[in-house]
Amino acid sequence: MNSGGSGGLHSLEADQVVSAIERACESDLRTALRLVARYSAYWWSRGLQDEAAAAAERVLSMLGRTVPVGLDEEYLLAVLHGAASAEQEQLELAQQIVAATTGPFRYSVTVLLWSLVFGPFESAELVEDVLERNEGGDAWARAAVELCRGYPGLTAVTPDEAAQALRTALGRFRMLDDAWGMFLAVGALRQTVDEPLDLTTESLALAEQLGLDEEVGVLLCQRGDLYRRLGKLEDARDDYCQALDVSERADLPETAAAARIGLARTARLCGNLPAARTHLSAVLVFPELEDAHFEALHELAVLNASEASA
């Protein structure tokens, strides 16, 4: 399963897929369910989670609690895509399908979607059992298995084993040119190292490639924090400024507030206390951002102490 690199981008093709599924819902629910399963990898590779959820929710609303004969895994995939709005009985049916499956999944993408959607709520033993059953799949499935094995909180592997699994997954996704797989693997790897600067830079590049504005803004702030702690204040300021630009363009107030706080701390460390105060004042006028307000007030107290001791 080669996913290409156009993730996060809506397209005419995506609209046509959803339209085909909607038409099938009116005449043949089995076909509609098969289409959801068939296009699961397509949606994944392009970051079209919202489109996948909309199509799956439409099919599930028509099927209710009926699993068509011979389409168990297709039903499971529909529930995985539409889990946020699925009925409790549908979620339970999906769990029963997994429990009754003794071999590998027929669709490569199922093991990854199941692990990320249901895995955090299942036992580590069950997750490992599902992963072991899918180790013999195609190259993409093998990469997905290693990603899930090392993903935080899914299995009981040691930190060293998790890091090795993630590195293996990253290498395999690179060979497949799967930007989404690489993005998840790098993001998880960042949590296993003490000095994540290089991995943060790689994660940022992937987020930009995938068109993920929110993640780009967050990662720029996180890299700015790393630069600031390393004393690279000019690099930190550049990242915070870019994060502020992205967040204002994409209407992401929490990220904008984080960028402003980062700029204030950087300005204070550079001795520019008026600039620091200006950034903090801008944060405090953001509505309904209690955590950001608390952090800004704390930084303001540090700033006042710096001025008093100057």
Closest C-alpha among 220, 175, 106, 174 to residue 186: 174
Q: Cα separation of 125 and 161, whole Å?
A: 16
Residue 42 pLDDT greater than 60, yes or no:
yes
Of 14 and 114, the structure prediction assigns the larger pLDDT to: 114
Nearest-CA neighbor of 255 among 267, 269, 241?
A: 241
Instruction: Tell me the helices (H) and strands (E) count for the chain, helix number first.
Output: 17, 0
For residue 88, pLDDT over 70 is answered with yes
Q: What's the pTM?
A: 0.86
What local confidence, expressed as pLDDT, does residue 244 receive? 98
**What's residue 26's pLDDT?**
84
Q: Check pLDDT > 50 for residue 5.
A: no
What would the DSSP string read from start to end of 174-220?
HHHT-HHHHHHHHHHHHTT-S--HHHHHHHHHHHHHHT-HHHHHHHH
Per-residue pLDDT, averaged over 143-159, amounts to: 95
At position 152, the amino acid (one-letter code) is: P
Q: How confident is the model at residue 12 (pLDDT cuts 50, 70, 90)?
A: low
Mean pLDDT, range 268-295, rounded to an integer? 95
Contact 171, 148 (CB under 8 A): no
Euclidean distance between CA atoms 170 and 199, whole angstroms: 11
Question: What mean pLDDT do residues 199-224 have?
Answer: 96
Number of Cβ within a 10 Å radius of residue 264? 28
Pairwise pLDDT comparison (22 vs 261), residue with the higher score: 261
